[in-house]
Chain A
């Protein structure tokens, strides 16, 4: 018989520790490793970004050439870089709602509930890890495309603003998708909610055009929304890079991260109460 495993010290303390930073970082690393392990998909995503951006660049170049009034006030080629930023964020965000829905519907959630750490926090940390891996690869594709296109490259400060706001914007999209996925506790299939969130990202988020193009009242509503915090505000740094705009955008983003985290926690608790009573 082989030797028995040595007993180990464990910490079933009076109360279990909350999700430690170490645990969440480990989950994020796991998410990043999982995303990188699927490197063919990641490369495909980078390739698709190049194709999508080539089409959108052609569209916005034509808009500029046709002298559409709004396009005239923007820097030459700025709209293309704006859309490059918003697409970069959207295409980098992993589909956490599908994973949550799958775990809830299939009953796989039970396995996670048997652990001493909060499932939702672990899942979000994993997804943010995946987001970090994707943003790096797609950013490389975007930079290559930008250099090949011969367009004017934004100033170095603008890049810092774009990267920071882009990553935080990605986290906002993750949280929006997380709340969407948690709806599976009640509606089982979250596609209808996802479609609404996605369309709101397109429209109020300004995925294809800055929300400043909208009528004034609509632009104001959009700019204050979490959708614009995720996409428009990072993208606008490609058009009008400024420190004051950056801090304003970052502040708005952090407010939305707080609100959406609270919403996700509330929805999670309600869903958990439901399945603890009724089963998965």
Chain B
């Protein structure tokens, strides 16, 4: 599959003037400033193929937002190369804009005091869209996102979930082939998050859109993305399919048993009991030491089991483990 994004040895460093303490420090800083250089992105390389859904994750200050800004053309790198659809983003920003859609979870692209309908109408002009097909696409997106009743409402009076649905519609109106999503579910409730994730996944699958997402919500990554790039201190520490990442770093399963008895005790190696409510037993199973079916068989042997759930550990734990391993 052809690469939509190609990044080679990309670097971005910022130079800051250090400020001293107090009046003397301020004067010294004004006369003979000391500078400090920080490498936000420190030589990363990767490719993203058409139709891939990739999460770029990392702790705060890791360089993920800087990478996203460089790829969308609003920041120049200090060194290295990047191409998006064959374009150099920071040199051909406006041309690239027709082909990408961007959602910043914490920033609005709509005009707050006006109804969303008016913002969409202006975006049609901004992206040079023909009226009739644009109207058809808008109608379709409005129907799918169920925001028909909201179109006449000033954006600033919408709830965060309603606004975010309109934000995503705004980013898709010009039919971009690549979607950059920066914390798209931040601040939303569970239902709204689920709706946004479902929509992004469905949209990408049906239109073959490439998605690049950053998020601190590991459920976004698990449910939307099929590949994860972990950045730490400006460098890529992991670049793997989401499933493989989860298995490699934990190799564990969570087995939850609902029982008539207050607790189920299983004496097998590689099992740890996690804290839980009475009549619920959560077992963390190290699959390198014991198979899950052995654990279930042992649980069923004593009887009284009402329900069994087998899950992968939450992505959050995976990420925590990755960070820990890269710091060692």
Q: Give A242 to B281 CA distance when docked, in angstroms.
A: 93
Q: Which residues of A contact B174 (CB under 8 A)?
A: 8, 10
Residues 215 to 274 of chain A near chain B (Cβ within 8 Å): none
B50 within 8 Å of A (CB atoms): no
Question: Which listed residue (A7, A10, A108, A111) contacts B127, Cβ 8 A?
Answer: A10
A115-B97 in contact given A8-B136, A9-B133, A110-B69 (Cβ < 8 Å): yes
Instruction: Please report which residues of chain A, range 105-141, place their CB below 8 angstroms from some CB of chain B when the two chains form the complex.
Output: 107-108, 110-111, 113-117, 122
Given contacts A4-B207, A114-B74, contact A27 B122 (CB under 8 A): yes
**Do the beta carbons of A277 and B76 come within 8 Å of each other?**
yes
Across the interface, do A10 and B74 meet the contact criterion of CB distance under 8 Å? no
Query: Which stretch of A13-21, A54-62, A66-74, A164-172 is in the interface?
Result: A13-21
Q: Is A65 an interface residue (CB 8 A)?
A: no
Any chain A CB within 8 A of the CB of B293?
Answer: no
User: Quick check: is A200 within 8 A (CB to CB) of the other chain?
Assistant: no
Report the Cα distance A16→B96, complex, angstroms: 9
**Do B128 and A11 touch across chains, with their CB atoms under 8 A apart?**
yes
Query: Which candidate, B3-11, B18-26, B110-118, B240-248, is the interface stretch facing chain A?
Result: B110-118
B141 near A110 with CB under 8 A, answer no
Chain A residues whose CB sits within 8 angstroms of the CB of B100 once the complex forms: 114
Shortest CB–CB separation between residue A78 and chain B, in angstroms?
39
Q: Given that A110-B74, A110-B107 are known contacts, is A5 also in contact with B144, CB under 8 Å in the complex?
A: yes
How far is A38 from B111 in the complex, measured between Cα atoms in Å?
Answer: 13
Q: Which B residues are in CB contact (< 8 Å) with A34?
A: 111, 113-114
Complex Cα–Cα for A76 and B66 (A): 65
Is the Cβ of B104 less than 8 Å from the Cβ of A279? no
Residues in chain A near residue B122, CB distance under 8 A: 26-27, 30
Beyond A16-B95, A16-B97, whether A6 also contacts B137 by CB under 8 A is yes
CB of A95, distance to nearest CB on chain B (Å): 14
Contact pick for B104, options A1, A14, A111, A116, CB 8 Å: A111
Tell me the bound Cα distance from A1 to B202 in angstroms.
Answer: 9
A197 contacts B by Cβ under 8 Å: no
B74 near A30 (CB under 8 angstroms)? Answer: no
Q: Which chain A residues border B277 with CB–CB below 8 Å?
A: none
Contacts of A20 on B, CB cut-off 8 Å?
A: 125, 128
Q: Which residues in A have their C-beta under 8 angstroms from that of B206? A: 4
Kindly report which residue of chain B lies nearest to residue A113, judged by CB atoms. B74
Q: Is A149 an interface residue (CB 8 A)?
A: no
Q: Which residues of A contact B69 (CB under 8 A)?
A: 110, 279
Please determine whether B136 and A6 come into contact, CB atoms closer than 8 angstroms.
Answer: yes
Return the contact of A8 from the options B99, B104, B137 (Cβ within 8 A).
B137
Query: Is A148 part of the contact surface with B, judged by Cβ < 8 Å?
Result: no
**A276 interface residue, CB < 8 Å from B?**
yes
CB within 8 Å of A: which of B300-326? none
A141 to B8: give the CA distance in the assembly, Å: 63
Using Cβ atoms and an 8 Å threshold, which residues of chain A touch B90? 276
Chain B nearest CB from A221 CB (Å) reads 35
Within 8 A of A (CB), among B62-78: 66, 69, 72-76
A22–B118 alpha-carbon span in the complex (Å): 15
In angstroms, Cα B134 to Cα A11, docked, is 13
Residue A23 contacts which of B14, B125, B136 (CB distance < 8 angstroms)? B125
Tell me the nearest residue of chain A to B182, going by C-beta: A110
- Asked if B140 lies at the interface with its beta carbon under 8 angstroms from chain A, I say yes
What are the residues of chain A within 8 A of B72 when measuring CB–CB?
Answer: 114
Bound CA–CA A279/B41 (angstroms): 13
Q: Which residues of B contact A (CB under 8 A)?
A: 14, 66, 69, 72-76, 90, 93-95, 97-100, 102, 104, 107-109, 111, 113-114, 118, 121-122, 125-130, 133-134, 136-137, 140-141, 143-144, 154, 172, 174-175, 202, 206-207
Closest 7 CB pairs of A and B: A5-B140, A12-B98, A8-B133, A116-B97, A26-B125, A23-B125, A16-B94
Extra contacts, 7 of them, besides A2-B144, A113-B73 (Cβ < 8 A), are A5-B172, A5-B175, A16-B95, A34-B111, A113-B74, A116-B94, A276-B74
Q: List 20 A-B contacts (CB under 8 A).
A: A5-B144, A8-B136, A8-B137, A9-B133, A12-B95, A16-B95, A20-B128, A22-B125, A33-B118, A37-B114, A38-B113, A107-B107, A110-B74, A110-B104, A111-B102, A111-B108, A114-B73, A114-B100, A117-B94, A276-B76
